[in-house]
Structure 1
Amino acid sequence: MAAMLARHLPSLADRVPARELSDEEVREAAKTEPALRDAALRGQIPMISNDKARRVLGWQPRPVETTITDTADSLIKHGLVTP
């Protein structure tokens, strides 16, 4: 994700954390960061599937890079992230 954002917003690339945390670092950070608690407790990446939405609804997801960069643009546009 960091690499995608750095390519899309090169002037802001130095503000995007690009280091991957070790399992121990995630467990330590989870003590104070609620968003990391589930990952730390499970110790594994959850498997998520959109197969049923594709099959039943004929839905097609947007490309990952488009989703991430559009989200970043929106956050900047709405003042939630300052450039």
Structure 2
Amino acid sequence: MADLHQARAAKERLRSEIAERPGVSGIGVTPDADGYAVQVNVQRRNDAAALPESVDGVRVQVRVIGPITAHSRPTRLRAV
């Protein structure tokens, strides 16, 4: 069971290890069944293959979110 402080420390350690890894879209802390875990968002299932199951005793959860794309802002506002 990891508390919030432990999960944040594990997140920063993992962030430095995977900073330039392709396919990783983001990393954060998420509630877990018995405390907190580190969540890593990846674009494809294959991108999660080399990620650890835990960091410093904190569980790592992987979430496949797909590619991130930018959308243009609408140029017209519609009346409500």
* TM-score tier after normalising by the smaller chain length: under 0.3
Identify, as 1 or 2, the structure richer in strand: 2
Which of the two has greater helix per residue?
A: 1
